[in-house]
Amino acid sequence: MNRMQPPLMLSICIATFRRADYIAETLDSIIPQLTDQVELIVVDGASPDHTPDVLARYVERCPRVRYVREAINSGIDPDYDRAVSYARGEYCWLMTDDDLLVEGAVREVLARLGTNDLVVVNAEVRNKDLRRPLRTSMLSSMQDASFDDAERLFVETTAYLSFIGGVVVRRAWWLERQRERYYGTLFVHVGALFQSPPIARAAVIGRPLIVIRFGNAMWSARSFEIWMFKWPELVWSFEHFSREARAAVTAQLPFRSFKQLIWFRAIGGYSMDEYRRFLGTRGNARYRLAASAIARLPGRIANFCCAAYYFMHADKSRSGMELYDLARSIHSTWFARRVDAMRRSS
Protein backbone atom coordinates (compact mmCIF):
# COMPACT_ATOMS: atom_id res chain seq x y z
CA MET A 1 0.00 0.00 0.00
CA ASN A 2 1.31 3.44 -0.91
CA ARG A 3 1.71 5.84 1.94
CA MET A 4 -0.56 8.87 1.66
CA GLN A 5 1.41 11.98 0.72
CA PRO A 6 0.97 14.95 3.07
CA PRO A 7 -0.85 17.91 1.52
CA LEU A 8 1.25 20.71 0.11
CA MET A 9 1.22 23.74 2.36
CA LEU A 10 3.43 26.08 0.32
CA SER A 11 4.27 26.65 -3.33
CA ILE A 12 7.25 28.91 -3.97
CA CYS A 13 6.35 30.60 -7.26
CA ILE A 14 9.02 32.23 -9.43
CA ALA A 15 8.33 34.06 -12.69
CA THR A 16 11.54 34.46 -14.65
CA PHE A 17 12.76 36.02 -17.86
CA ARG A 18 16.33 36.09 -19.15
CA ARG A 19 17.94 35.35 -15.78
CA ALA A 20 20.06 32.32 -16.65
CA ASP A 21 23.13 33.94 -15.08
CA TYR A 22 21.40 34.43 -11.72
CA ILE A 23 18.58 31.96 -11.21
CA ALA A 24 20.83 29.02 -10.32
CA GLU A 25 22.05 30.85 -7.21
CA THR A 26 18.44 31.57 -6.30
CA LEU A 27 17.45 27.93 -6.71
CA ASP A 28 20.46 26.79 -4.70
CA SER A 29 19.21 28.87 -1.77
CA ILE A 30 15.69 27.41 -1.99
CA ILE A 31 15.93 23.75 -2.95
CA PRO A 32 17.73 22.53 0.21
CA GLN A 33 14.81 23.98 2.18
CA LEU A 34 12.08 22.10 0.30
CA THR A 35 10.13 19.47 2.21
CA ASP A 36 7.19 17.16 1.52
CA GLN A 37 4.99 20.18 2.28
CA VAL A 38 6.71 22.55 -0.16
CA GLU A 39 7.12 22.69 -3.93
CA LEU A 40 8.93 25.10 -6.23
CA ILE A 41 7.38 26.32 -9.50
CA VAL A 42 9.32 28.32 -12.09
CA VAL A 43 7.35 29.95 -14.91
CA ASP A 44 9.64 31.06 -17.73
CA GLY A 45 8.30 33.81 -19.97
CA ALA A 46 10.00 32.43 -23.10
CA SER A 47 13.52 33.47 -22.11
CA PRO A 48 15.82 33.72 -25.15
CA ASP A 49 18.90 32.73 -23.10
CA HIS A 50 19.91 29.33 -21.65
CA THR A 51 17.36 29.38 -18.82
CA PRO A 52 15.81 26.06 -19.99
CA ASP A 53 19.21 24.35 -19.76
CA VAL A 54 19.76 25.67 -16.25
CA LEU A 55 16.32 24.55 -15.07
CA ALA A 56 16.60 21.14 -16.68
CA ARG A 57 19.45 20.24 -14.34
CA TYR A 58 17.37 21.12 -11.26
CA VAL A 59 14.18 19.41 -12.47
CA GLU A 60 16.15 16.21 -13.11
CA ARG A 61 17.65 16.22 -9.61
CA CYS A 62 14.70 17.42 -7.56
CA PRO A 63 11.13 16.09 -8.06
CA ARG A 64 9.72 19.00 -6.03
CA VAL A 65 10.76 21.47 -8.76
CA ARG A 66 8.36 22.12 -11.63
CA TYR A 67 9.35 24.16 -14.68
CA VAL A 68 6.77 25.67 -17.04
CA ARG A 69 8.02 27.45 -20.16
CA GLU A 70 5.49 29.77 -21.80
CA ALA A 71 5.33 30.03 -25.59
CA ILE A 72 5.55 33.84 -25.53
CA ASN A 73 6.58 36.49 -23.06
CA SER A 74 3.41 38.05 -21.65
CA GLY A 75 5.06 40.13 -18.93
CA ILE A 76 5.76 39.80 -15.24
CA ASP A 77 2.17 40.26 -14.04
CA PRO A 78 0.55 37.45 -16.09
CA ASP A 79 3.48 35.13 -15.42
CA TYR A 80 3.18 35.43 -11.63
CA ASP A 81 -0.57 35.00 -11.91
CA ARG A 82 -0.07 31.85 -13.97
CA ALA A 83 2.46 30.55 -11.46
CA VAL A 84 -0.18 30.80 -8.73
CA SER A 85 -2.73 29.04 -10.95
CA TYR A 86 -0.27 26.17 -11.54
CA ALA A 87 0.53 25.86 -7.83
CA ARG A 88 -0.76 23.04 -5.64
CA GLY A 89 0.03 24.50 -2.23
CA GLU A 90 -2.44 26.16 0.11
CA TYR A 91 -0.16 29.22 0.12
CA CYS A 92 2.03 30.77 -2.57
CA TRP A 93 5.29 32.60 -1.96
CA LEU A 94 5.85 34.96 -4.92
CA MET A 95 9.62 34.74 -4.96
CA THR A 96 11.95 36.60 -7.32
CA ASP A 97 14.38 35.04 -9.79
CA ASP A 98 17.69 36.62 -8.74
CA ASP A 99 17.42 37.03 -4.95
CA LEU A 100 18.17 34.51 -2.21
CA LEU A 101 16.45 32.92 0.76
CA VAL A 102 18.42 32.74 3.99
CA GLU A 103 18.84 29.40 5.71
CA GLY A 104 15.70 28.42 7.62
CA ALA A 105 13.46 30.88 5.75
CA VAL A 106 10.96 28.28 4.53
CA ARG A 107 10.67 26.69 7.96
CA GLU A 108 9.97 30.09 9.55
CA VAL A 109 7.31 30.96 6.96
CA LEU A 110 5.58 27.61 7.37
CA ALA A 111 5.23 28.29 11.08
CA ARG A 112 3.24 31.47 10.36
CA LEU A 113 0.71 30.00 7.93
CA GLY A 114 -2.75 28.67 8.70
CA THR A 115 -4.55 31.63 10.26
CA ASN A 116 -3.38 34.41 7.95
CA ASP A 117 -4.30 35.18 4.35
CA LEU A 118 -1.02 37.06 3.90
CA VAL A 119 2.44 36.77 5.40
CA VAL A 120 4.86 39.61 4.64
CA VAL A 121 8.49 38.47 4.73
CA ASN A 122 11.12 41.11 5.47
CA ALA A 123 14.33 41.39 3.42
CA GLU A 124 17.83 42.78 3.62
CA VAL A 125 19.49 44.45 0.63
CA ARG A 126 22.94 43.81 -0.80
CA ASN A 127 24.75 45.05 -3.88
CA LYS A 128 24.64 43.28 -7.21
CA ASP A 129 27.27 40.66 -6.34
CA LEU A 130 25.75 40.23 -2.84
CA ARG A 131 29.03 40.99 -1.09
CA ARG A 132 28.10 44.34 0.38
CA PRO A 133 25.17 45.11 2.71
CA LEU A 134 23.22 48.20 1.70
CA ARG A 135 20.26 47.99 4.09
CA THR A 136 19.80 45.52 6.92
CA SER A 137 16.01 45.69 6.85
CA MET A 138 13.57 46.91 4.22
CA LEU A 139 10.79 47.23 6.76
CA SER A 140 11.08 50.01 9.32
CA SER A 141 10.76 47.48 12.16
CA MET A 142 12.35 44.07 12.54
CA GLN A 143 9.68 42.98 15.01
CA ASP A 144 7.05 40.39 14.13
CA ALA A 145 3.55 41.86 13.89
CA SER A 146 -0.06 40.88 13.21
CA PHE A 147 -2.68 42.99 11.44
CA ASP A 148 -6.45 42.88 11.37
CA ASP A 149 -6.81 46.47 10.13
CA ALA A 150 -6.39 46.73 6.36
CA GLU A 151 -5.53 50.43 6.28
CA ARG A 152 -2.82 50.06 8.92
CA LEU A 153 -1.39 47.12 6.97
CA PHE A 154 -1.51 49.23 3.79
CA VAL A 155 0.35 52.15 5.38
CA GLU A 156 3.02 50.08 7.07
CA THR A 157 3.85 47.55 4.35
CA THR A 158 2.89 48.79 0.87
CA ALA A 159 6.07 50.74 0.10
CA TYR A 160 8.07 47.60 0.83
CA LEU A 161 5.64 45.38 -1.06
CA SER A 162 6.58 47.01 -4.32
CA PHE A 163 9.10 44.15 -3.98
CA ILE A 164 7.05 41.07 -4.86
CA GLY A 165 9.37 38.61 -3.11
CA GLY A 166 8.01 39.57 0.30
CA VAL A 167 4.51 38.22 -0.45
CA VAL A 168 3.20 34.87 0.82
CA VAL A 169 -0.54 34.69 0.10
CA ARG A 170 -3.30 32.12 0.51
CA ARG A 171 -3.84 30.69 -2.98
CA ALA A 172 -7.64 30.37 -2.79
CA TRP A 173 -7.90 33.98 -1.67
CA TRP A 174 -5.69 35.15 -4.55
CA LEU A 175 -7.73 33.28 -7.14
CA GLU A 176 -10.91 35.00 -5.95
CA ARG A 177 -9.44 38.45 -6.62
CA GLN A 178 -9.46 40.56 -9.78
CA ARG A 179 -5.99 40.19 -11.25
CA GLU A 180 -6.17 40.84 -14.98
CA ARG A 181 -7.13 44.48 -14.44
CA TYR A 182 -3.66 44.94 -12.92
CA TYR A 183 -1.72 43.33 -15.77
CA GLY A 184 0.76 45.88 -17.04
CA THR A 185 1.07 47.75 -13.77
CA LEU A 186 4.17 45.64 -12.89
CA PHE A 187 2.64 45.23 -9.41
CA VAL A 188 -0.21 42.74 -9.89
CA HIS A 189 0.34 41.45 -6.36
CA VAL A 190 -0.30 44.87 -4.82
CA GLY A 191 -3.50 45.17 -6.85
CA ALA A 192 -4.64 41.74 -5.70
CA LEU A 193 -3.86 42.45 -2.05
CA PHE A 194 -5.30 45.91 -1.66
CA GLN A 195 -8.27 46.13 -4.06
CA SER A 196 -11.62 46.38 -2.31
CA PRO A 197 -12.21 44.54 -0.05
CA PRO A 198 -8.50 44.55 0.87
CA ILE A 199 -6.70 41.81 2.69
CA ALA A 200 -6.97 42.09 6.47
CA ARG A 201 -5.70 38.95 8.20
CA ALA A 202 -1.97 39.33 7.84
CA ALA A 203 1.30 38.79 9.67
CA VAL A 204 4.75 40.28 9.23
CA ILE A 205 7.96 38.36 9.82
CA GLY A 206 10.39 41.02 10.99
CA ARG A 207 13.60 39.02 10.65
CA PRO A 208 14.92 39.43 7.09
CA LEU A 209 14.59 36.06 5.37
CA ILE A 210 15.36 37.30 1.84
CA VAL A 211 18.55 38.80 0.41
CA ILE A 212 17.71 41.28 -2.35
CA ARG A 213 20.24 41.73 -5.15
CA PHE A 214 20.01 45.51 -5.59
CA GLY A 215 20.73 47.13 -8.94
CA ASN A 216 19.73 44.13 -11.04
CA ALA A 217 16.11 45.00 -11.85
CA MET A 218 14.97 44.30 -15.40
CA TRP A 219 13.04 47.56 -15.43
CA SER A 220 15.88 49.96 -14.51
CA ALA A 221 15.63 51.76 -17.84
CA ARG A 222 11.97 52.52 -17.08
CA SER A 223 12.48 53.65 -13.49
CA PHE A 224 11.24 57.20 -14.09
CA GLU A 225 7.99 56.02 -15.67
CA ILE A 226 7.46 53.36 -13.00
CA TRP A 227 8.06 55.42 -9.85
CA MET A 228 6.69 58.72 -11.10
CA PHE A 229 3.57 57.35 -12.80
CA LYS A 230 2.77 53.62 -12.66
CA TRP A 231 3.36 53.12 -8.94
CA PRO A 232 1.53 56.24 -7.67
CA GLU A 233 -1.37 55.68 -10.08
CA LEU A 234 -1.80 52.17 -8.66
CA VAL A 235 -1.53 53.26 -5.01
CA TRP A 236 -3.96 56.15 -5.47
CA SER A 237 -6.47 53.92 -7.28
CA PHE A 238 -7.33 52.32 -3.91
CA GLU A 239 -9.99 54.91 -3.09
CA HIS A 240 -11.36 52.88 -0.18
CA PHE A 241 -8.27 53.96 1.77
CA SER A 242 -8.04 57.49 3.11
CA ARG A 243 -6.03 60.16 1.31
CA GLU A 244 -3.73 60.29 4.32
CA ALA A 245 -3.04 56.54 4.05
CA ARG A 246 -2.27 56.72 0.34
CA ALA A 247 -0.09 59.80 0.81
CA ALA A 248 1.88 57.91 3.47
CA VAL A 249 2.83 55.38 0.78
CA THR A 250 3.60 57.76 -2.10
CA ALA A 251 2.78 61.25 -3.29
CA GLN A 252 -0.07 61.28 -5.79
CA LEU A 253 1.94 63.30 -8.34
CA PRO A 254 5.60 62.80 -7.42
CA PHE A 255 6.81 64.20 -10.73
CA ARG A 256 5.78 67.66 -9.48
CA SER A 257 8.65 67.54 -7.00
CA PHE A 258 11.77 69.18 -8.40
CA LYS A 259 13.80 67.23 -5.84
CA GLN A 260 12.53 64.02 -7.42
CA LEU A 261 13.45 65.25 -10.89
CA ILE A 262 16.95 66.18 -9.73
CA TRP A 263 17.35 62.75 -8.14
CA PHE A 264 16.39 60.93 -11.33
CA ARG A 265 18.69 63.23 -13.28
CA ALA A 266 21.51 62.33 -10.89
CA ILE A 267 21.08 58.56 -11.38
CA GLY A 268 20.56 58.78 -15.14
CA GLY A 269 16.81 58.15 -15.17
CA TYR A 270 15.63 61.59 -16.33
CA SER A 271 16.64 63.47 -19.46
CA MET A 272 15.00 65.43 -22.24
CA ASP A 273 13.63 62.16 -23.60
CA GLU A 274 11.62 61.62 -20.39
CA TYR A 275 10.68 65.28 -20.26
CA ARG A 276 9.24 65.21 -23.78
CA ARG A 277 7.47 61.89 -23.23
CA PHE A 278 5.99 62.47 -19.78
CA LEU A 279 6.15 66.12 -18.71
CA GLY A 280 6.14 68.34 -21.77
CA THR A 281 2.38 68.94 -21.64
CA ARG A 282 1.87 68.83 -17.86
CA GLY A 283 1.52 71.72 -15.45
CA ASN A 284 1.85 75.40 -16.18
CA ALA A 285 4.55 77.18 -18.14
CA ARG A 286 6.65 77.82 -15.02
CA TYR A 287 6.64 74.12 -14.11
CA ARG A 288 7.54 73.04 -17.64
CA LEU A 289 10.39 75.56 -17.78
CA ALA A 290 11.86 74.25 -14.52
CA ALA A 291 11.34 70.60 -15.46
CA SER A 292 13.05 71.08 -18.83
CA ALA A 293 15.92 72.98 -17.16
CA ILE A 294 16.51 70.03 -14.80
CA ALA A 295 16.42 67.65 -17.78
CA ARG A 296 19.17 69.75 -19.39
CA LEU A 297 21.19 70.09 -16.19
CA PRO A 298 24.53 68.31 -16.55
CA GLY A 299 24.01 64.95 -14.91
CA ARG A 300 27.32 65.11 -13.06
CA ILE A 301 26.27 68.32 -11.34
CA ALA A 302 23.02 66.72 -10.21
CA ASN A 303 24.96 63.66 -9.07
CA PHE A 304 27.42 65.78 -7.08
CA CYS A 305 24.60 67.73 -5.40
CA CYS A 306 22.72 64.58 -4.36
CA ALA A 307 25.89 62.99 -3.02
CA ALA A 308 26.59 66.16 -1.01
CA TYR A 309 23.09 65.99 0.45
CA TYR A 310 23.57 62.40 1.61
CA PHE A 311 27.01 63.27 2.95
CA MET A 312 25.66 66.10 5.10
CA HIS A 313 22.13 65.10 6.04
CA ALA A 314 21.15 61.51 5.36
CA ASP A 315 20.75 58.74 7.90
CA LYS A 316 23.82 56.63 7.19
CA SER A 317 22.03 53.45 8.27
CA ARG A 318 19.30 53.94 5.63
CA SER A 319 21.14 55.61 2.74
CA GLY A 320 23.23 52.73 1.41
CA MET A 321 20.95 52.01 -1.54
CA GLU A 322 20.80 55.65 -2.60
CA LEU A 323 24.56 56.14 -2.40
CA TYR A 324 25.11 52.91 -4.31
CA ASP A 325 22.80 54.21 -7.05
CA LEU A 326 24.68 57.50 -7.22
CA ALA A 327 28.09 55.82 -7.29
CA ARG A 328 27.22 53.50 -10.17
CA SER A 329 25.19 56.02 -12.19
CA ILE A 330 26.23 56.96 -15.71
CA HIS A 331 26.66 60.44 -14.20
CA SER A 332 28.72 59.26 -11.25
CA THR A 333 31.30 61.71 -9.88
CA TRP A 334 34.44 61.11 -7.84
CA PHE A 335 32.61 62.70 -4.91
CA ALA A 336 29.67 60.30 -5.09
CA ARG A 337 32.05 57.34 -5.25
CA ARG A 338 34.03 58.73 -2.32
CA VAL A 339 30.94 59.25 -0.17
CA ASP A 340 29.77 55.75 -1.06
CA ALA A 341 33.16 54.32 -0.10
CA MET A 342 33.10 56.23 3.19
CA ARG A 343 29.68 54.83 3.98
CA ARG A 344 30.87 51.33 3.08
CA SER A 345 33.86 51.53 5.43
CA SER A 346 31.96 53.12 8.34
Q: Residue 289: enclosing H or E segment and its boundaries? A: helix 285-296
pLDDT at 1: 38
pLDDT at 344: 78
The pair phi, psi for residue 77, each rounded to 5°, is: -65, -55
Q: Residue 128: enclosing H or E segment and its boundaries? A: none
pLDDT at 224: 96
pLDDT in tens, the chain (346 residues): 345 556 799 999 999 999 999 999 999 999 999 999 999 999 999 999 999 999 999 999 999 999 999 999 999 999 999 999 999 999 999 999 999 999 999 999 999 998 899 999 999 999 999 999 999 999 999 999 999 999 999 999 999 999 999 999 999 999 999 999 999 999 999 999 999 999 889 999 999 999 999 988 767 678 999 999 999 999 999 999 999 999 999 999 999 999 999 999 999 999 999 999 999 999 999 999 999 999 999 999 999 999 999 888 766 666 889 999 999 999 999 999 999 998 877 6
Range(s) within the chain of domains with CATH label 3.90.550.10:
10-213
The answer to whether 186 touches 230, Cβ cutoff 8 Å, is yes
Q: Tell me which DSSP letter residue 19 carries.
A: -
pLDDT at 121: 98
Strand partners of residue 91: 10, 170
CATH superfamily of the domain spanning 10-213 = Spore Coat Polysaccharide Biosynthesis Protein SpsA; Chain A (3.90.550.10)
pLDDT at 79: 97
Name the pTM for this structure: 0.93
C-alpha–C-alpha distance, residues 239 and 252, integer Å: 12
pLDDT at 103: 97
pLDDT at 90: 97
C-alpha–C-alpha distance, residues 273 and 293, integer Å: 13
Collapsing DSSP to helix, strand or coil, 172 comes out as helix
C-alpha–C-alpha distance, residues 83 and 254, integer Å: 33
